[in-house]
A and B are shown apart, each in its own frame.
Chain A
Amino acid sequence: MTTILLVVLGLFAGLVGALSGTGGGIILAPMLALYFGLPIQQAIGTSLVAVITTSAASSSMHLQRHTADIRLGMTLELATALGAAVTAYLVGYINRTALEILFTVFLLYGAVTILRKGGKTEDAQDEMIPASSGNEAAFPPYEPKRLPLGMGASLVAGGLSGLLGIGGGPIKVPVMYLFMGVPLIVATATSNLMMGVTAAASAFVYYRRGDIVPAVAAPLVVGVFVGSLAGARLAPRIHHKWVARLLVAIMLYLSMHMLVHIVGKFL
């Protein structure tokens, strides 16, 4: 029964993630912790496996369309992988409640950010369409600027990924697009590509520590895989604003539930 529920959870997270362009990793870990009784460390470690799946499935598509910048991605991965491995290691020494508080704060922050950003994800989707045609990339040549800034932001994004089991796209995409002069489609595709390596860097640490639960990861991955494929198909036909609002509502609800859960421990 639990196995089937986990497939459904993965399906939902994959669908919402693909439709909102946020990966969906952010809602997986708290749900695993709150509703499936996993300690937060294991919830995070297990959701990392789902993040790798989404990244691999979606970037193989982006690469075929030549929208991901492998050289830029590889360079920034030096920083994201380092950040992710270090924080993943530190998680082993962080108190469980402290980690839950940190996660709750980030959920709230993430929900507010998406809410304020409004329809930004729509622009990304609109720009996505012309790039899919032909063998050559449909964007003008560019030279990434301010690499040190990009490396710094990537270190932070990687650190958050290792700490919270998320992809870190909401940090990397705006930095590449706004500060490094990378076209938005390329920034999105490159961030997606980097997510896999970043998540793997921390997932190895979680795995060695026993913080990845294979029996939970398996049904989750099955759901996420199918959900994100379906989401990618549905994306052009669905209003992204509503998906973003749904995601915000879920994140707010989860953060409240986490808060109740944390406060409950002290009463």
Chain B
Amino acid sequence: MNEKREPGFDRALARVLHIGALAGFFVMAAGAVAHILFDGPIAARLEITGVLILLITPVVRVFVAMLLFFREKDWRYGWISAGVLLILLLGSLLGIGER
């Protein structure tokens, strides 16, 4: 399964995860510091943004993998990635309308 893939593939996904984790970390850190210094709407907004960055990071990873699979004409795994994306989308719709 692993001998077919091109070397740039792993690196592209690694970059997505790296950027997502770092961005989430810095925004969360800013939020936590703001929370300690002056608790208010700015802190809350930063914290929510941080949560959303981290929640979206794995989704972007799957999306980028899907594009790369399709570009390699690896239809099977392109569609599998699309399926994972669909489940993630349905999951985000599932929580709507409660509370």
Contact = CB atoms under 8 A, between A and B. Distances in A.
Bin the interface of chain A by size. Answer: 35 or more
B55 A56 contact: no
A196 B61 contact: yes
B7 to A, nearest CB: 6
Chain B interface mostly: helix
B67 interface: no
Interface string A68-87: 11111011011001101100
Contacts of B88: 81, 85, 197, 200-201, 204
A206 interface: yes
Which 3 interchain pairs have the tightest Cβ spacing? Answer: A208-B95, A85-B91, A214-B47
Contacts of A133: none
B14 interface: yes
Contacts of A7: 32
Given A53-B24, A137-B2, A197-B62, 13 more contacts: A57-B21, A60-B17, A84-B91, A85-B88, A85-B91, A142-B2, A201-B91, A202-B91, A208-B92, A212-B51, A217-B50, A218-B51, A221-B50
Interface in A196-223: 196-197, 199-210, 212, 214-215, 217-219, 221-222
Interface in A164-205: 186, 196-197, 199-205
A53 B25 contact: yes
A23 to B, nearest CB: 15
Contacts of A53: 21, 24-25, 54
Given A56-B57, A64-B11, A208 B44 contact: no
Contacts of B51: 49, 207, 212, 214, 217-218
Contacts of B62: 74, 77, 197
Contact of A222 (B29, B48, B56): B29
A52 B35 CA distance: 22
Contacts of A207: 51, 55, 95
A11 to B, nearest CB: 12
Interface of A: 3-4, 7, 49, 52-53, 55-57, 59-61, 63-64, 66, 68-72, 74-75, 77-78, 81-82, 84-85, 88-89, 92, 135, 137, 141-144, 186, 196-197, 199-210, 212, 214-215, 217-219, 221-222, 225
A64 B28 CA distance: 25
Nearest to A84: B91
A78 B87 CA distance: 8
Kindly name the residue among B3, B10, B29 whose own CB sees the greatest number of chain A CB atoms within 10 A: B10
A104 B65 CA distance: 37
26 contacts: A3-B36, A7-B32, A49-B51, A56-B20, A59-B17, A60-B14, A74-B65, A74-B80, A74-B84, A77-B84, A78-B83, A84-B91, A85-B88, A89-B95, A196-B61, A200-B55, A202-B91, A204-B88, A204-B91, A204-B94, A205-B94, A205-B95, A207-B95, A208-B95, A217-B28, A218-B47
B77 A71 contact: yes
